[in-house]
Structure 1
């Protein structure tokens, strides 16, 4: 069977884009709520009484908010694949379709990344309106995209492995929620106990927070963190591809 690799990826991606385009207004409005609450509560409220080494606390938390928001949106944007596999049984349409198997994985991840980037753009605009100061470089954008890819892949893996809605919710409760608050998003991991910090600094969101904050403020960044994110993204793609291919066997 001859595959048209990128045409196959585009076909999968286009289907999700059409759905998003029809719901774009509702999507944008819904994605404004949480960032505004974070910016008001932590930037204007709590942030006025917190001193950081450079800039304001608002400048400090905006990269963290971008990191955790892109994590949540990219993960949750791909969870409908779980319903397609378990409840709707529509995943079989892709399995029997004459397309490159990995095209489904890449197309779904790309669609989730797009949603997360649109949401991130909303945060950037709101943060600037709130008076935040940070620099967006090409590497800043690449790190943000990498973070979206990693958690979209994690969402895809969860959709392939988990069999109930309750278990999918537990991924948010036991994995994403702790990372949202502990991985350097709202405070430095240096404030954590040594053993806890050792575990936290292995997680991808921690490296994303460090990189975005460093790049946004013009400080030196660790390219080891960038390498860690690339490794996570590669492993996620390979693992997700294998999980989907098992369904086709």
Structure 2
């Protein structure tokens, strides 16, 4: 099982390694814009009560960025299934279906964590203050895992590239702005706040912000994030197995 997972993951790592320099440089552009525009620009006029707005922004930026990168990193599975028809090579290969799913998700998590490391380094250069702990990194990896799983499920169900872009429009984009990334969810009207607090990115943002500053966290948010990760891997494995029936 571990060998099968490693085989799938290693293939994605070899592809990434060949493009690593370009990947790192491209992942620096968007965070720089957010840190300059919101951290230095708009952020200097915003009072968040404790600390600077930059300190408030960075955990939310990490949550949002890891969501987008992990989701987009697994989009090639959609092309392999719909356009290139190369997914059949994995279906007939002597590897377990759940190993393929876990290996692909692990590759997306790696890309998400590399992108997050870039943001952490840049945010320290901009003067942000927050602590990086093992639990902080674990929550960040769980967030990458959740949205890689969502991307995998979308790749299994959606039949065209145009429809795949709609997932980004209707799912990822609203979460990017509403789930505690740029402002506290308490500022939202109650009906919207109740809905937003059901979403995984909200709990990741809360966890990263609390772990990075006070060092404590909400056990409920932690359980919710783990539950999303477990359900996602189970759903992805189930759907991929259906392709082999």
TM category, shorter: over 0.9
Q: Work out whether 1:169 is the aligned partner of 2:165.
A: yes
**Which residue is equivalent to 2:80?**
84
Residue deviations 1:123-166, cap 9 Å, x none?
Answer: 00000000000001111011000000000000000000000001
Residue deviations 1:8-55, cap 9 Å, x none?
Answer: 000000000000000001100100000000000000000010011111
Which of residues 194, 198, 210 in structure 2 aligns to 1:198?
194
Matched residue SS, 1:135: coil
**Which residue is equivalent to 1:8?**
4
**Which residue is equivalent to 2:151?**
155
Measured in 1, the distance between the counterparts of 2:115 and 2:239 equals 28
**Which residue is equivalent to 1:188?**
184
Residue deviations 1:74-122, cap 9 Å, x none?
Answer: 0000010000000000000000001111111000000000000000000
Which of residues 47, 52, 59 in structure 2 aligns to 1:51?
47
**Which residue is equivalent to 2:111?**
115
Measured in 1, the distance between the counterparts of 2:167 and 2:201 equals 15
Measured in 2, the distance between the counterparts of 1:98 and 1:116 equals 28
Q: How does 1:34-73 map to 2 (within 5 A)?
A: 34-73=30-69
Aligned residues: 245
Measured in 2, the distance between the counterparts of 1:231 and 1:69 equals 21
**Which residue is equivalent to 1:223?**
219
TM-score (norm 2): 0.99
Measured in 2, the distance between the counterparts of 1:224 and 1:207 equals 9
Measured in 2, the distance between the counterparts of 1:214 and 1:20 equals 32
Aligned-residue Cα RMSD (Å) equals: 0.6
**Which residue is equivalent to 2:94?**
98
Measured in 2, the distance between the counterparts of 1:152 and 1:144 equals 12
What's the CA shift for 1:220? 3.4
Structure 1: unaligned runs, 5 residues or longer? none
Measured in 1, the distance between the counterparts of 2:115 and 2:132 equals 16
Measured in 1, the distance between the counterparts of 2:72 and 2:219 equals 28
Measured in 1, the distance between the counterparts of 2:62 and 2:244 equals 36
Name the stretch that deviates more: 217-226 or 106-115. Answer: 217-226
**Which residue is equivalent to 1:179?**
175
What's the CA shift for 1:219? 5.0
Structure 2: unaligned runs, 5 residues or longer? none
Measured in 2, the distance between the counterparts of 1:99 and 1:82 equals 19
